[in-house]
Chains A and B, each alone.
Chain A
């Protein structure tokens, strides 16, 4: 059974801190997604990656296929980064919707 585990479950940081959220999965994947869920529930896709590293603004996502592990980093965190961050993996190609979702990491960035 494919499982996706995230850590930590909750994270509180001060504005400006460097943040890392971890994601481990148990079954080999073809792609891993990082998503951001706003307090109102809407979801934004941040990254989809199957190897290496991707960067977008202050966000960086890395993945280690051998270790079945991915990390999401936020540099110079800001209160507007407060949200739930979810990782999800897919065994059927990154474009398939049959994703296995982690339970999310709730991030709160204090000013």
Chain B
């Protein structure tokens, strides 16, 4: 089946630093990827839609200057948390949409990245 890989799976950083998380579709091309955030004991929430070759679309309440998204190729989207603060500590998950005539555009999820900001 289709595989989506996220890296790193865990990252600990100091407050004020920036952290980059990668999301790769390993065996299919994805023009659209999605980034979600999950706080402890809460539901997943969509943060933004990443579109290959164009600007990301952010959900209401998500700061685009803080959460930079780059989707430079059909298999890679990156999320950069800039000037991270402890309240940004969360579990970040991406998903990629497989497209093509033979597919129904189903979503495949990454393993997630747990960010801890000290």
> Bound pair: A and B?
yes
Instruction: Please report A residues at the B interface, Cβ cutoff 8 Å.
Output: 33, 35, 40-45, 48, 86, 88, 93-99, 101-104
Q: Which residue of A35, A93, A102, A103 contacts B109 across the interface (Cβ within 8 Å)? A: A35
Distance in angstroms from B112 CB to nearest chain A CB is 4
Closest to B95 in A: A97
In angstroms, Cα B45 to Cα A33, docked, is 15
State whether B43 touches A41 (Cβ < 8 A).
no
In angstroms, Cα B48 to Cα A98, docked, is 9
Instruction: Count how many pairs of residues, one from A and one from B, have CB atoms less than 8 Å apart in the complex.
Output: 65
Closest to A86 in B: B44
Q: 8 closest A-B pairs (Cβ-Cβ)?
A: A95-B105, A97-B34, A42-B111, A43-B109, A41-B112, A101-B43, A101-B44, A103-B43
Known: A97-B49, A101-B43. A41 touches B114 (CB 8 A): yes
29 sampled A-B residue pairs with Cβ under 8 A: A33-B107, A40-B111, A41-B93, A41-B111, A41-B112, A42-B109, A42-B111, A43-B93, A43-B111, A43-B112, A45-B106, A45-B107, A48-B106, A48-B107, A86-B43, A93-B105, A94-B104, A94-B105, A95-B105, A97-B33, A97-B46, A97-B49, A97-B97, A101-B43, A101-B44, A102-B43, A103-B42, A103-B43, A104-B43
